[in-house]
Amino acid sequence: MDRYDELRGHITRIEPVDERESTSIRATLDRLTWASDPFDERLNDHHVTASGFVVSSRGVVLHRHRRLGIWVQPGGHVDNGESAEHAALRESTEETGLALAPLVPPLLFHVDVHPGPRGHTHYDLRYVLRAPPLEPSPPEGESPHVYWFSFAGAEERCEPALVPALAKLARWYADHDVPDLAP
């Protein structure tokens, strides 16, 4: 058993929302078989990233990506030795200024392969994260455009490829009792 077997198991349990996600799942599983570290952006311009669908009774958080100028969920690169779940939590906390927590057990909800900055390709692992229903307060250096949206509002604002994932998230959230994180 190699160090990515558990992650592969989580990925294969995802019910794809569309053909794009099916293709992304296959590509990400393949990326995990390459010889170089799949998370290290310095070794390869094709690398695994992690992000968070931050949810509360207020809806879902989106931010306007500083480099790309599009509305997406917070996230970023996985640091050396860090798990994807922890990277999603760390990056989302850094970009929103909110105290966040993963579900227990953590829920890998969606996978998407897309172009990233500087000609890189990101194999993004998207986790559901709980938040208190407070206003985001991103620190200096992060995008100041971080807001709560209703699920319908998020679908209207977000980068178009994210719409199916957010629609799936809205259905999932409506069907599960996900308490807000205490402030």
Structure token digits, residue 47: 């690398």
Residue 24 pLDDT greater than 90, yes or no: yes
Residue 14 zone, left/alpha/beta (φ > 0; ψ -120 to 50; rest) = beta
Confidence of residue 26 (pLDDT cuts 50, 70, 90): very high
Task: For the chain, list the domains and their CATH numbers.
Answer: 5-175 (3.90.79.10)
Question: Residue 49: helix, strand or coil by DSSP?
Answer: strand
In percent, how much of the chain has pLDDT > 90?
90
**68-105: string of b/e by CB count within 10 Å (b at 16+)?**
eeebbbbbbbbeeeebbbbbbbbbbbebbebebebeee
Cα angle 116-28-160, degrees, rounded to a multiple of 5: 45
Q: Output the average pLDDT for the chain.
A: 95
Residue 96 pLDDT greater than 90, yes or no: yes
Confidence of residue 1 (pLDDT cuts 50, 70, 90): low
Contacts 24+ apart (CB under 8 A), 22-30: 23/113, 24/111, 24/112, 24/113, 24/123, 25/111, 27/113, 27/123, 28/111, 28/113, 28/123, 28/125
Residue 155 pLDDT greater than 70, yes or no: yes
Structure token digits, residue 53: 């669908």
Q: What is the pLDDT of residue 2?
A: 72
- Read off the pLDDT of each residue in 49-58 and give the average, rounded to a whole number: 98
Q: What is the pLDDT of residue 183?
A: 87
**CB atoms inside a 10 Å sphere around CB 110:** 26
Q: What is the pLDDT of residue 99?
A: 96
Question: What residue type is 100 in one-letter code?
Answer: L
> Residue 89: in which H helix or E strand, if any?
helix 84-96
In percent, how much of the chain has pLDDT > 70?
99
Higher pLDDT, 43 or 100: 100
